[in-house]
A and B are shown apart, each in its own frame.
Chain A
């Protein structure tokens, strides 16, 4: 619990973080930046876990633990995604989202 800061302020922060992530996810052309946007979304949710754990259930630890999971997951996911992107780059020499259309149906 942080003095002088209510849950709402931090929730606002995480919402902003989340929507920046969504916005970035939708608008960026570069796969790497899309990946960064995904990281933002994950971070927003990690913040929310910690926050809600601290403010609403201070005697429990699951939320905090879960956010650690999310960080680990994010790292794994990033590694995987970067691997895909590199492979993609080797094939089509581009990391632009619009060039990956060939993978449709």
Chain B
């Protein structure tokens, strides 16, 4: 079995094991944590294997494999990874493992919960390893649809409504996306030869400009909806607010990254001319989204809403950076995806812990929690500072790479937009400090909170798992950034 397919197969095996062997919460979480631990170890192994392989292999993708899946339409199960997918896979594995730890005490239908969560993860892993549009799309749908169940069954608040909104909006986007993908497919033989779904075969031909102009915005929007592009972001606040903790973590931390990844790998890579023609329009939308999300976050009353709008702001920054079309900004966009994935997962985990103890997420009702829960409080403050881009954490590296990269754009308009976007760091610090200052610091808001239980070992493990990569990227970013730059080269060449 090759190293990549295991990423899809292991989750399926875990799901089967859960289905047949898990009898109660204890067994279910044991199986899940062991399985996800294996997955995590595999992803670490993949990073090292990738570095080793990269030294001798100069292809765009390594560990490639190609199996015909459905011959009539030339659909293949073809896989391969470059540095971008490798880091994304590692991110997914970390967030999942942490998510399983955070869900340690889930009491409602635990077995089914873990089954859905892990089934979803196989879709995510599959998405990141595919190099065939159709397979990729299939995995994408596998990743998106279980979300409906996870939110609808294990959520809180108006969960049915939120789950439906989220699923419908994402399905709508998928519909648009599928048109875009089919458009690419039917134009993939402009130079003769059979139609193909394979990304790298399509990259060899030049899709007619007229077709690019039509199908680029469809593909872009199809992916960008899950990447929270303004004005298609409204599924995210209500969806995240209603979702259970681990699902919020996974969704904001990983699934929303599928958007940026898809935009980069499919829309921009396959339709470069369309990308350049449409860039100004989407650039303004994403720049607006950065500022807008940040300002909207200031006014939110619910902790999860704050974080959801913060995610809108930070992920619009990813799209913004992608639309700058240069190597530095692109590197920044990917680091930002990683960094945001880790940090937002931490935030959702922390909010879940606070909520689980106090049963409220309203900022007004909380206060002075750090005195009672020092560990959670300290990590909360650290996460907040990392989120607003303090040096030493991954957020700073990502944002600075984006800003410096974006500012290198030769066009004045792009630089002015960059300055506008840079100013979001102030707004970010306002809402983060407002939140941290209110709920963690200050006097204790409610005497009942005096006896809140301290952080348990599994909560600590989950948080520390996420914190370590944040600090690693923040302190020593050079290796990561150089590894990504190398993989960005082919994308850059497509633009010329």
A and B touch in the complex (CB under 8 A): no
Q: Give the B-binding residues of A (Cβ under 8 A).
A: none
